[in-house]
Structure 1
Amino acid sequence: MQVNTEDITVSWGQQPHPLDSTYGKWRMALFQDLQESIDTSKLYFLYDPIADEKCCTRCFVGEIPLHAQGTMKFLFSLKCPSPQGGSAFVLVTEEQIYGQIRLHVFRLDLSGDGLSVANCRPLLHSALLIGGEYICSMREDAPEIVVMANPGLQVWRINAIAEQPQEPSANFTVPGADLTHFYDGFLSNGSVHLLSSSPDGHLDHTRIHVLNLNNAGQITTQNCTPDPQRGMPAPRKNAGIDGVANAILLAGGEIDHGNYNIQRLVDYWMLDTRTFQWLQIPAQMPAPLIEPRLTACNSG
Structure 2
Amino acid sequence: MAKAFASQGDLSEKKTSFTEIGEGLYAFTAEGDPNSGVIIGDESVMVVEAQATPRLAGKVIEAIRTVTDKPISHLVLTHYHAVRVLGASAFAAPQVIMSDDARAMVVERGQEDWDSEFARFPRLFQGHESIPGLTWPTTTFSDAMSVYLGNRRVDIMHLGRAHTAGDAVIWVPDQEVMFTGDIVEYHSACYCGDGHFADWGDTLDNIASFDPASIAPGRGDALVGRPMVAEALEKTRDFVESTYRPVARVAARGGSLKEAWDACRAECDPKFSDYAIYEHCLPFNVARAYDEARGIDTPRIWTAERDREMWDALQG
- Larger RCO, structures 1/2 (Cα 8 Å, 6+ apart): 2
TM-score, with normalisation over the residues of structure 2? 0.29
Asked which structure has the greater CA Rg, the reply is 1
More strand by share: 1
More helix by share: 2
After TM superposition, the score normalised by the length of structure 1 is 0.30
